[in-house]
A and B are shown apart, each in its own frame.
Chain A
Amino acid sequence: MARIELQNIAKNYGPVEVMRDINLEIEDGEFIVLVGPSGCGKSTLLRMIAGLEPITEGEFRVDGRRMNEVQPRDRDMAMVFQSYALYPHMDVARNMGFSLEIRKAPSQERADKVRDAAKTLGLTSLTARLPKALSGGQRQRVAMGRAIVRDPSAFLFDEPLSNLDAALRVEMRLEIARLHQRLETTMIYVTHDQVEALTLADRIVVLNAGKIQQVGTPLDLYERPANRFVAQFIGSPTMNILEVEPTDKGVLLKDGTVIGISPGAERPVACDLGVRPEHLNIVPQGSAHFSGKAELVEHLGSDTNIHAHVPSIGQVLVRQHGHFPLKTGDPVHIALELDKVHLFAPDGQRLDTVLGSG
């Protein structure tokens, strides 16, 4: 059980600054997911929390107590490493039970816990093997097992499912959700998988280039992204960004279409308009905002992705539910769902101007 606070955390490797201004408060029992592009500092942040990497600046507290200088072994956190870091000279069972062995837990308790973990992870038949005789995904599950046999104050997971096949990943995701429900332990979880992030998280932290972009519930990030980076990072396929010019009445699209703002709203200073593919609709010509030509139509069964080229606006991706009878080269007329449109200032920050039919 732990309430984790990060205050003005910064991290330098020599002259290289990799993280700065990290402020985050994690409630006891919360499930936090860290997402961000490769190299943005997710593992570094996790390693600072675990105590493996010294914190250059700022304060890290657990339950109100400063922990910057506390040794990793006294922090009582379990971690799954991105690179697994299994002990090559110990078999699977001993790898998983190593923390218990260190704690000199009774051998019966150790065996029971290892057996349960192995069962949860589908490793029962492999417990006597050495790590070198396992596949990548099996090793990853052993790494997972090493964490879950413990009862730590917080779990740190660094992409723990990245190497599993789709079906196993779904299964393991459920196991992690179940584990969290059962133990109610604070969890910090790094992933590149949007579905994992959106389904597991109480709150998601979006990082980019060593800075926190936004912290919020999955729905928050989806519906009210704080800036253009978050808007494009969360959601798949990626949000369309259209260049616009602000006018007195609303915003002017490149092809001359004017989209008005709600009556009473102030004049926007927007320079970018963001709209998710699922918030664009193919409509009859009369009610469309703009028109173009379908360049590529992807039929996914549940959805149809239409990559359209709109003269003087550019590429636009439209997503329609179900099977949409459209062929490459067909003309398409596209309408925006105005209440789902986001506006971004020139510096990328979100603007709260509401568009309407005014």
Chain B
Amino acid sequence: MTARKITAPGIPRARPSFYLRYMVEPYVYLSPALVLIALVMLVPLVIGISYAFQSVNLLRPIETGWTGFDNFRTLWSDRKFWLALTNTFWWTAGSITFQFFLGLGLALLLNTSFHGKRLVQALVFLPWAVPTFLSALTWAWLFNPTIGPLPHWLAALGILPEPFNILGDPNLAMWGPITANVWFGIPFFAITLLAALQSIPGELYEAAEIDGASAWQMFTKITLPFLAPMIAITVMLRTIWIANFADLIFVMTGGGPANSTQILSTYIFTTAFRKLDFGYASAIAVALLGLLLVYAAVLLVLRRKLVKI
């Protein structure tokens, strides 16, 4: 490298011969971060996806090799996959709907002023701090009629004909993990929506009141538009997270009875670590990834259309 004249500020450093150098220079500085990201994110992702096009079964180590779209063809005609997909939909939709609306209600309550607000606020966020496995176990017990009160209460309310364990009923079992998940996920929506609510200037409500708006009109015409960006992003993140969230189901029902609570992520888990068929598990995972990408794209487009602020 040759010595260069020291340049003063304002005098352009890049002469044409140095052009390439200045193109490359930023990437040199960025390279540690890029390498790190590539190593911890991209490499596992690519390897994982590549498994989907191979036969990787630890029980049949000899038949390893590229198989093209074989795994996906099997997937297409796999009844269990379609069942798990349907279950994933209900699991995600049920959880997110209740989490969102109850979380929103809680945030609206916490946004008013009342006595002992700080204490309530702290308590509300508690479920978030409980380890998932612990809450899954606790909820499993709560649903167990021999030790838990819930079946008796439900029976007393007339929701159940008699106190039995809904986790054992193929038609109702999904409600068990969904209930636990709702309890577990409300604080997330409450926290984020409360933050968004608190950022709405109070004078807008005053102006709306002067303009004659009722409480409901203020909610729909001021609160909701302000919350919309936050709602879009949190609902998207939580949907993806819940669709992948197997812990509760795994501990509470293990996917049963009769696969009635089997969702894609538990199916992936059992395929990979019980049947040791990594190739097929990867194919399911890729299918799930594709669906979630489509969902995220749709939501982002909607957000751009609806959100004005």
Contacts and interface: CB of A to CB of B under 8 A. Distances in A.
A99 B212 contact: yes
B213 interface: yes
A77 B212 contact: no
Contact of B212 (A81, A83, A86, A103): A103
Contacts of B213: 73, 98, 102
Contacts of B217: 102
Contacts of A71: 209
Interface in A107-133: 130
B287 interface: no
B262 to A, nearest CB: 43
B211 A99 contact: yes
B197 to A, nearest CB: 15
Interface string A8-41: 0000000000000000000000000000000000
Nearest to A76: B212
B211 A89 contact: no
Contacts of A308: none
B226 interface: yes
B63 interface: no
A79 interface: yes
A78 B209 CA distance: 10
B122 interface: no
Contact of A83 (B203, B225, B226): B203
Contact of A85 (B201, B212, B226): B201
B209 A81 contact: no
Contacts of A79: 207, 210
Interface residues of A, number: 22
B214 interface: yes
Interface in A60-105: 71-73, 77-79, 81, 83, 85-89, 98-99, 102-103
A98 B211 CA distance: 7
B206 interface: yes
B154 interface: no
B208 interface: yes
A89 B225 contact: yes
Contacts of A73: 209-214
A146 interface: yes
Given A87-B222, A89-B225, A81 B207 contact: yes
B134 interface: no
A88 B210 contact: no
Contact of B207 (A77, A85, A103, A130): A85
A355 interface: no
A168 interface: no
A130 B308 contact: yes
A83 B211 CA distance: 16
Interface in B217-232: 217, 221-222, 225-226
A85 B309 contact: no
Nearest to B207: A85
B172 interface: no
A85 B209 contact: no
Closest 6 CB pairs of A and B: A99-B211, A85-B207, A85-B203, A72-B209, A73-B212, A89-B225
Interface of B: 201, 203-204, 206-214, 217, 221-222, 225-226, 308-309
7 contacts: A72-B210, A73-B210, A73-B212, A81-B206, A98-B221, A102-B214, A146-B207
Given A79-B210, A89-B308, A103-B212, 18 more contacts: A51-B209, A52-B209, A52-B210, A72-B209, A72-B210, A73-B210, A77-B210, A81-B203, A85-B201, A85-B204, A85-B207, A87-B208, A87-B222, A88-B204, A89-B225, A102-B208, A102-B214, A130-B308
